[in-house]
Amino acid sequence: MLKLGAEPAYVHCIYTQFKLNIANKIPDADKTFDNFETITGRKPNTWREFVVKHRE
């Protein structure tokens, strides 16, 4: 990724995140939450809505 021009700090962050996930060091990293609308103020798109919007 670095050879392709990715930002080194971002690549390091991804690497660290994967290491922590593998070591099970991030509580609730694998959980799904139902608070999208509360956080964003709008309903999430469905997969169908996303595909229709981005089909081109």
Buried b (16+ CB within 10 A) or exposed e, 41-54: eeeeeeeeeeeeee
Write out pLDDT tens, residues 15-56: 999 999 999 999 988 888 899 999 999 999 999 999 999 999
pTM of the shown model? 0.52
Q: Which domain holds residue 36?
A: 8-54
50: left (phi over 0), alpha (psi -120 to 50) or beta: alpha
Asked if residue 20 belongs to a domain, the reply is: yes
C-beta pairs of 7-12 under 8 Å, 24+ apart in sequence: none
| Residue 3: pLDDT over 90 | yes
pLDDT at 22: 93
| Residue 1: pLDDT over 90 | no
Provide DSSP, 39-54: HHSSPPPPHHHHHHHH
Asked if residue 2 belongs to a domain, the reply is: no
pLDDT at 32: 86
Asked if residue 1 belongs to a domain, the reply is: no
CB atoms within 10 A of CB 4: 6
Number of domains the chain contains = 1
